[in-house]
Amino acid sequence: MSNIVWLIPLFPLLGTLLNALFGRWIDRKAHWVAVPALGCSFLLSCAVFLKVWQGETFTGDLFPWIQAGSFRTSVTALVDPLSAVMLLVVTGVGFLIHVYSVGYMHGDPGYARFFTYLNFFVFSMVMLVLAGNFLVLYVFWEAVGLCSYLLIGFWYTRRSAADAGKKAFIVNRVGDFGFGLGVMYLWVALGTLDYGEVFARIGALSPTTATVIALLLFMGACGKSAQLPLHTWLPDAMEGPTPVSALIHAATMVTAGVYMVARSHALFERSGVALDVVAWVGGITALFAATIALAQTDIKRVLAYSTISQLGYMFAGVGVGAYAAAIFHLVTHAFFKALLFLGAGSVIHAQAGEQDLRKMGGLAPRMMATTVTFLVGAAGLAGLPPFAGFFSKDEILASSYHRGPLALWALLLIGAFLTAVYVFRVVFLAFFGAPRMPKEVAQHVHESPLVMTVPLGVLALLTAVAGAVGIPSAHGMAFARFVSPVFPLPEGVDHGGLSAYALLVLSVVAATAGVLLAWLVYRGRPVRAEAIGRPRNRLHALVLNKYYVDELYDAVFVRPTLRAAGFCARTLDLGVVDGAVNGVGRLVVGWARSMRALQTGYVMNYAMATLAGAVAIVGFLLWR
């Protein structure tokens, strides 16, 4: 397996280099480089997956990387069921989104640049999930962050896009600062960063140390996966092109935090406290973001808050120790959320860039393929049986009920109800009812080209059938069995009996009730465009303004920082530092001039210097 594993990241890397170096000439044909590169990666990932299916695993070094005293680390890959699943998701969904982008980005002036970034992202993400030690993980953790920044600000001439890119980068810095510290502390505490060695020696850590390290790492996860309180960047990240939102800010990159916590579950379990923190942060974020999603008027922002909320579910799952369920939800979420984003992209594309739900409506008859697939995605997100989201979300709900505090389960259940409400609100507002867009736009509404609708169809199919591997059976769900080498199957937890069915029914009821409520509010009576998105009462205003978190951060962090920076720049830097630096600089330059004068150009002088040097050297040696 060793020979093909390294090829998986190689293809997107080659694609990146080709498009980066020759993009100017490849230009409109950039996808002929990028898409096949990813196709190859995907096929190889399938091959690797099959080998892992047969029970093989692989650990190997590409090359020794850093050697400094006792610090030695290599670029290592680790392929086990967990990374095999992640590989499949990253390259598979990535491939579909690459195909979709051919249609979506058609005619954009930065066509080649777009595919360069996109390929580089897939390369980095593949390396992130392949990484066999924390340092490589950290490097590519940063690399995907960089891609995210570049792609959010892809249309950099737009002020809002450039700002959003910066915001994403800076907010992530906060988390990554903790993550970096965590990795360093891990090194100090254990003397190794290799996954295998770290988890084997985890018992040597005191629970307190484990808690500190785990929480530091989780800080990084909060940033990357947009959990409270570092969630503010993700909604703004919707400034990027929609395929980017689908790939990076829904399906893959933002789930890196979940992956990381699941991967280092031994560390979090050693701490115990950290696991509870993860569960509560996840649970609270799940509900918190779902409420905000209820009131947003931008179709992509609704989906963005929905992503935050769903990531909260995953963290809640991880936090109660249901790792397999969380990763399973990660996978199904990748399918249906990518589908929803791409569907939204199709809608936006059809309406010449319009993202405002207030100006949509009645699209169904003219965009059948998009409507049907979007409905499938919405059903998946809402958790309606038999779609994939139902099985994975139910698994998390059940686990939280059985293993976590009741309050956490309650949060998640209410969240599930709200999820159904907000996603079907989008469905009814966008696709049904009377059109609310201007006449000239309405005339041009059209179904997207095949290159966009086919990926939608494939993702819809996956959303419809992927739940099958998560059907609970006598031996536990098939997915959990597959990843059991990484996450041992829970023992002694009773999944049978009335309680499990009651939970199942309860979650179906919650989802159905949500759909019904949305139908009543947005379909039961005609909707007026002005009525949407106007605050009706205090509570509505609070949710509409996202709990004023951005305003709070602005007042508490951003503005004081800017003031401090202004003070440093004007008073400290210009006055004190520059004065000193320029002084030193003038001193050195003056010195240089005078030394230069020694260099007369006369051979006699040079020879004299040589002689003087010889005398000095011999004198020194004799004197000693």
Least distance between another protein and beta carbon 33 (Å): 20
Tell me the H-state helices in 131-264: 134-152, 159-190, 195-200, 207-224, 233-236, 242-246, 256-263
Minimum CB distance to another protein smaller for 53 or for 606: 606
Query: 315: closest CA among 341, 289, 276?
Result: 276
Minimum CB distance to another protein smaller for 525 or for 593: 593
Residue 73 pairs with which residues in a beta bridge? 66
Q: Is 434 left (phi over 0), alpha (psi -120 to 50) or beta?
A: beta
Least distance between another protein and beta carbon 617 (Å): 5
Minimum CB distance to another protein smaller for 66 or for 352: 66
Minimum CB distance to another protein smaller for 475 or for 624: 624
The token pair at 40 is: 């190859």
Minimum CB distance to another protein smaller for 406 or for 598: 598
Least distance between another protein and beta carbon 618 (Å): 4
Minimum CB distance to another protein smaller for 141 or for 417: 141
Minimum CB distance to another protein smaller for 502 or for 589: 589
Residue bearing tokens 């969630």: 231
Least distance between another protein and beta carbon 612 (Å): 7
Least distance between another protein and beta carbon 29 (Å): 22
If one counts every other C-beta atom within 10 angstroms of the C-beta of residue 444, the result is: 10
Helix, strand, coil proportions of the chain in percent (round to 5)? 80, 5, 20
For another protein, the binding residues (CB under 8 A) are 63-69, 588-589, 591-593, 595-596, 599, 601, 603, 605-607, 609-610, 612-614, 617-618, 620-622, 624
Minimum CB distance to another protein smaller for 406 or for 604: 604
Least distance between another protein and beta carbon 66 (Å): 7
Distance CA 173, CA 145 (A): 9
- In total, the chain counts a number of residues equal to 624
Query: 308: closest CA among 121, 524, 546, 603?
Result: 546
Least distance between another protein and beta carbon 333 (Å): 36
Least distance between another protein and beta carbon 21 (Å): 9
DSSP state of 63: E
For the chain, the C-alpha Rg in angstroms (whole number) is 28
Distance CA 365, CA 515 (A): 21
Minimum CB distance to another protein smaller for 509 or for 592: 592
Question: Which amino acid, 209?
Answer: T
Minimum CB distance to another protein smaller for 465 or for 612: 612
Least distance between another protein and beta carbon 59 (Å): 19
DSSP state of 360: -
Least distance between another protein and beta carbon 17 (Å): 13
Minimum CB distance to another protein smaller for 541 or for 607: 607
Distance CA 162, CA 117 (A): 16
Distance CA 601, CA 246 (A): 68
Distance CA 196, CA 218 (A): 20
Distance CA 393, CA 383 (A): 7
Cα 576 → chain centroid: 42
120-153 per-residue burial string, b: 16 or more CB within 10 A, e: under 16: bbbbbbbbbbbbbbbbbbbebbbbbbbbbbbbbb
Least distance between another protein and beta carbon 75 (Å): 9
Minimum CB distance to another protein smaller for 548 or for 591: 591
Least distance between another protein and beta carbon 39 (Å): 28
Minimum CB distance to another protein smaller for 146 or for 174: 146
Distance CA 15, CA 348 (A): 28
Least distance between another protein and beta carbon 588 (Å): 6
If one counts every other C-beta atom within 10 angstroms of the C-beta of residue 414, the result is: 15
DSSP state of 322: -
Residue 279 vs residues 172, 206, 274, 574, 604: alpha-carbon distances, Å? 21, 21, 9, 48, 81
